[in-house]
Amino acid sequence: MHAPKTFMVGIDVSKAHLDVAVEGKRTVVRFDNDAAGRAALATAIAGAELVVVEATGGYEMATVRALMAADIPVAVVNPRQIRDFARASGRLAKTDQVDARVILHFARAMRPAQIPHIDDGRIALAALVTRRRQIIDMAVAVKNRLEHAPQAVAVLIGETLAALKAQLARVDAVIALAIEAEPDMAARRDLLLTVPGIGEVGAAVLIAELPELGGIDDKKLAALVGVAPMAHDSGAWRGQRHIAGGRATVRCALYMATLSAIRCSPAIKAFYTRLRNAGKPPKVALVAAMRKLIIMINTILKRHTPWNEPQQHGC
């Protein structure tokens, strides 16, 4: 596969195959989604300006890592963005080849941001953080069955809860070890733990699932997390601003951190109180406080300096 000197690439990923659309080429080429196929792909598209891959539940990660290892810039986008773009463009048909071309067209039109390099340690940490969330979800579901369970069943449910609790403790220990084993992640964790409201779990979520933190500007970060207000205006009409999109798991961790920060950080508490006194609804004030907190955290990681309440108070 020969391509222009600078070009973009769209890749539709499935469990078995990679369908690749290259800017300036009419045909979509298929590679096997295995080590040999990914190596051949990296060779074929060497020199690409940007490769855009649709997130497909984890099947894309091996391809992303292979391209990163070959120093090829990669962006991973939400499937919903691709589908909305396809509908807006009038492309209603859906096949692997069509999807690859739609992703390429999306890449050219939207130029999504390249994701930072993902090392093995961060990938392992992300998997552990995901597993921790799964255990908690399972524990909540099991616990909800206790209310109407007869005694004999309640005993069995209790055994399941105990097993999940034990596994959660092991996962927490492994997460701590995984962060400690990587100097960069350990340094980021230490900085994050100086922030009011951020504990070990919150720090792990931010490290694993928001690697851009400290490396992008504040507006992009707010949109990435999903705490940036989106306009809903038309002509002279001005609608309410609402948050939309973003990384839900990061936003949940930030939400819990902000609730705590409102109580224990004079800067965040004063900001939240000022908005409430100005008549802002509680949820609006809370989202604004979340946005302020993540921006302050972004500054801390950019400057590699711990939280300092007096300095942060006026920002």
Q: What is the pLDDT of residues 38-75, one digit of tens each?
A: 999 999 999 999 999 988 877 888 898 899 889 999 98
Q: Is the pLDDT of residue 303 over 70?
A: yes
Share of the chain above pLDDT 90, in %: 60
78 compared with 262, residue with greater pLDDT: 262
pLDDT digits (tens, 9 = 90+) for 95-140: 768 889 999 999 999 888 787 776 778 888 988 999 999 999 999 9
pLDDT of residue 268: 94
**C-alpha distances in angstroms, 259 versus 249, 252, 272, 291, 305?**
16, 11, 10, 12, 23
Q: What is the mean pLDDT of residues 15-30?
A: 93
Average pLDDT of the residues of the chain: 86
C-alpha 44/C-alpha 154 separation (Å) is: 59
